[in-house]
Amino acid sequence: MKPIALDAAGGDAMPQAGVAGAKAAAAAGVPVVLVGDETVLRAELSAQGVDLPVHHAPDTIRMEDHAADVRRRRESSVMRAMRLVKDGEASACVSVGHSGATMAAALFVLGRLGGVERPAILANIPTKAGFTALIDAGANADCRPSYLQQFAVMGSTYARLFYGLPEPSVGLISIGEEAEKGNGLTREAHKLLQTTPGIRFFGNVEGRDLLRGTTDVVVADGFTGNVMLKLAEGEAKVIFGWVRDALTSGVLTKLGAALVRPALRGVAARLDPSEYGAQPLLGVGGYAFIGHGSSDGKAVENALKTAQRAVTAELVPKLVAGLAALGPQPG
């Protein structure tokens, strides 16, 4: 397997988190090449006592930069990392830097898969039933019904490979369970999904169904999906804060807190984004993963492991096969 190219310049905690995560991933058998300023990365590698390959990239797309800057800044770390994938020198690209720039670089360098009008971000949402794949989680604020149909096919393929489900169910996010509920987009998408080959369409689902795990895949436009994702993340933090305050409010509750702490740590781990590391950008002509800008070493390590798993499972060829059943798409 070719190494995974890690954009080790983008991100709030780079290069320290990048080197720490790559070190741990490499120890677990994941080949990694660090992409960024070689002088900076070599110094950090020496500081952490590890020797990993480095691909020099003199430029970095910062969080305050515009995503479209990647077109003219071809020597940036995210563009160099994507180019390694395109040229067959790396199997996948992982970036925890500017998410918009990562998407733009993936499109510009890797292009779209046949049958895909717009790539989408898939987010793994922990639920009562295990996990739900939420797609799109933020790549496309404005969508057409055909986009949602393609998201459903890609989300189903992902759920089969990563969740081990032979026939994952697909729900379309709306404001009611009835087919006629929702706006023009969801009503038209509902009609398409009813006859889409290769998926098991459940029907409309509502926001409350996401964490219940009513369906294995939840399809939404990127605006709605991103709002749902951020709401779920924020609510989890607030609720845990309430629990912490309640358990430390008195002597007796502090004693009780000591007893339940191991169980609460397990719950916290399920809700921690760093446990999953990065989310796949599905629909581009290669493997591209986007992580949180605040990712620490643990998150980077898990992102690299997730990328390796996707490559080993041949996710992209299987997406191509699933999309082919939809026939030619416009655009």
Domain hosting 291: range is 1-116+283-331
Confirm whether 20 is domain-assigned.
yes
CA Rg value for the chain = 20
**Separation of alpha carbons 179 and 191, rounded Å:** 8
pLDDT of residue 314: 96
pLDDT of residue 129: 75
Structurally, the chain folds into a number of domains equal to 1
Confirm whether 299 is domain-assigned.
yes
Residue 275 three-state SS? helix
Confirm whether 85 is domain-assigned.
yes
Beta strands at 92-95 and 288-291: parallel, antiparallel or unpaired: parallel
Nearest alpha-carbon partner for 121 in 103, 136, 105, 101: 136
Residue 150 pLDDT > 90: yes
Confirm whether 178 is domain-assigned.
no
- The model's pLDDT over 280-291, given as tens digits with 9 standing for 90+, comes to 999 999 999 998
Give the pLDDT band (50/70/90) at residue 154.
very high
DSSP 51: -
Residue 330 pLDDT > 60: no
Confirm whether 242 is domain-assigned.
no
Residue 260 pLDDT > 80: no
Q: Which residue has the higher pLDDT, 112 or 271?
A: 112
Confirm whether 130 is domain-assigned.
no
Confirm whether 1 is domain-assigned.
yes
The CATH number given to whatever domain includes residue 109 is 3.40.718.10
Give the pLDDT band (50/70/90) at residue 293.
confident
Confirm whether 89 is domain-assigned.
yes
Residue 290, beta-bridge partner list: 95, 279
Residue 264 pLDDT > 60: no
| CB 34, CB 22: distance < 8 Å | yes
pTM of the model as a whole: 0.89
Structure tokens at 234: 């924020």
Query: In the predicted model, what is the mean pLDDT of the chain?
Result: 89
Residue 93 three-state SS? strand
**Separation of alpha carbons 296 and 242, rounded Å:** 25
The arithmetic mean of pLDDT across residues 6-13, rounded, is: 88
Give the pLDDT band (50/70/90) at residue 231.
confident
Give the pLDDT band (50/70/90) at residue 232.
confident
